Amino acid sequence: MSMRQSFLFNTIFALAVNFIIKPIWIFGIDRTVQNELGSHEYGIYFAVFNFTYLFQIFLDFGLQNYTQTEIALDSSRFGKVFPGLVTSKLAMTIIYLILSITVASALGYIHYNFFPWLILNQILLSFNIFFRANISAHRLFIKDALLSSLDKFLMIIGCTIMILPNPRIFDLNIQNFVWIQTISLAITTAFSIYFSLQLSTKFHWQFDKKLFKNIIVSAIPFATIYFLMTVYYRIDTVMIEKMLGEKGAYEAGIYAQSYRIMESVNNIGYIIAGILLPLFAHKLSQIEQLQKIIRQGFNMMTIIIVPIVLGGTFYAKEIINTLYPDAPDYSSTIFIVLLLNFIPVGLLYVFGPLLTVKKSFGIMIPSLAVASIMNVFLNYYFIPQNGALGAAIATFSTQILMLTVYSIAIIKIFKINFNFIYFLKIVTFIITVFTINYVLYQTETFWLVSLFFSGIISLLFAFALKIITKETFLLKIY
């Protein structure tokens, strides 16, 4: 088996590329911009940025998941379906523009100079993800991984020039920060388009009304899922900024500090889900192979989640104080609550793609609708009392609900039996990792060194407990 066929190799490669590039962007650039400009100014940007996500349903309309599922099932249809998908996406982009501008006018966001550019950035990002979905649907995960980090690599170069004080070529402000993102996303999207067009030599570019209608109808469930997930992932910052009056922008900025870290670890799950979804679709009729992928996906997420969550919880204050010297004391509490989200979110990145390819929309859509409504109500209740911490609590509560529902669904649909020995291994692994972190914490070693050794020792224990086995190395993507 070649390395390119290995599930583990492709997963590690995708994670490695993102671990090299994205932490530099998140903690080196994005964090520095916030620290330089202050939580109030950055908080306004962060609230508007999250607002532009709310109507992304009309940019994506489920086309990403539809593409990854349908093309992975039968890649020979790509040349015929792709033009219709592009046409659908262009039509939905117009609707996104109209809705976003209309609602932004009502909220007052349209008056910010950077607002139109954030809208353009969302459009470019959406098209980039869409074209990459076609690449990953063909199981070209290495190429997809490189494209997924190209925009951040270009942003790092541009923003480094902006941040450096000598010589300062252009001012450090939100407008320039957003413009650098626009240029980087435009270049990356151009590459994604180019590589997508290399996937077939026979495209039927004429407008096919029937195909267009079929794609839109087929994508509606995916679009509904995407919209509901976006609501409970992104509404919190907008509600913080709007509900807390003069303190709103500052609290949104404080929330952004920990949210930035949470999003960076959640990105690990997103990468793994991007590999799992087309694999689930490709192996859907092969029950034995599907069960192997489920098991290995769950194992891989577990050995990632446990060390990160436990290590981050032990060293919450040290992490926040190092990254944000001026952060208030309660920032570390917000960080812990948001970090705990990685437990349900990480596992949902395994279960969600599986239910998606199974098209279990009757379970997914109602549960997501309840979760979205619950999230809005919890935010409405907790934010006035607890500020950004209230939004973190609301988010965690919502994710726990979703994990419970999806876990029950997976067990019933795929008839997964309870394995006491396996359960004991997982519990032993958690206790071991907790003990490792506790011991290292007592030594008062520098937190970054402790987290590094904790991760290495945890990985070794995962091998010793056979959570990672020979089967993990032999699992193929073809």
Cα separation, 49 vs 31, in Å, equals 15
Question: Which of 209, 195, 217, 225 has the alpha carbon at shortest distance from 65?
Answer: 225
Q: What is the pLDDT along the chain (478 residues), one digit of tens a residue?
A: 444 555 566 667 667 777 778 778 877 888 888 888 888 888 888 888 888 887 877 777 667 666 666 666 566 666 666 777 777 788 888 888 999 999 999 888 898 999 999 999 999 988 888 888 777 767 666 777 788 888 888 999 988 888 887 766 778 888 999 999 999 999 999 998 888 777 765 655 565 677 667 767 777 787 788 778 878 777 888 889 888 888 888 888 888 888 888 878 887 777 777 777 666 766 666 666 677 777 778 888 888 899 999 999 999 999 898 888 888 888 999 999 999 998 998 888 888 878 887 888 889 899 999 999 999 999 999 999 899 899 999 999 999 999 999 989 888 887 777 788 888 999 999 999 999 999 999 987 888 899 889 989 998 998 888 887 766 655 555 4
Counting Cα atoms < 13 Å in the Cβ hemisphere of 241 gives 25
- Rounded Cα distance between 125 and 216, Å, is 21
Contact 414, 291 (CB under 8 A): yes
Structure confidence at residue 414 (pLDDT)? 77
Residue (of 395, 121, 472) closest to 231 by Cα position: 395
Q: Give me the pLDDT at residue 296, please.
A: 78
Rounded distance between C-alpha atoms, residue 356 and residue 72, angstroms: 13
Q: How far is CA 329 from CA 150, 256, 344, in A?
A: 36, 15, 26
**In Å, what is the CA distance from 257 to each residue of 10, 78, 140, 269?**
31, 41, 34, 20
What is the reported pTM?
0.74
Number of compact structural domains in the chain = 1
DSSP category for residue 256: H
Range of the domain at 13: 3-474
Bridge partners (DSSP) listed for residue 6: 476
| Contact of 338 with 259, CB cutoff 8 Å | yes
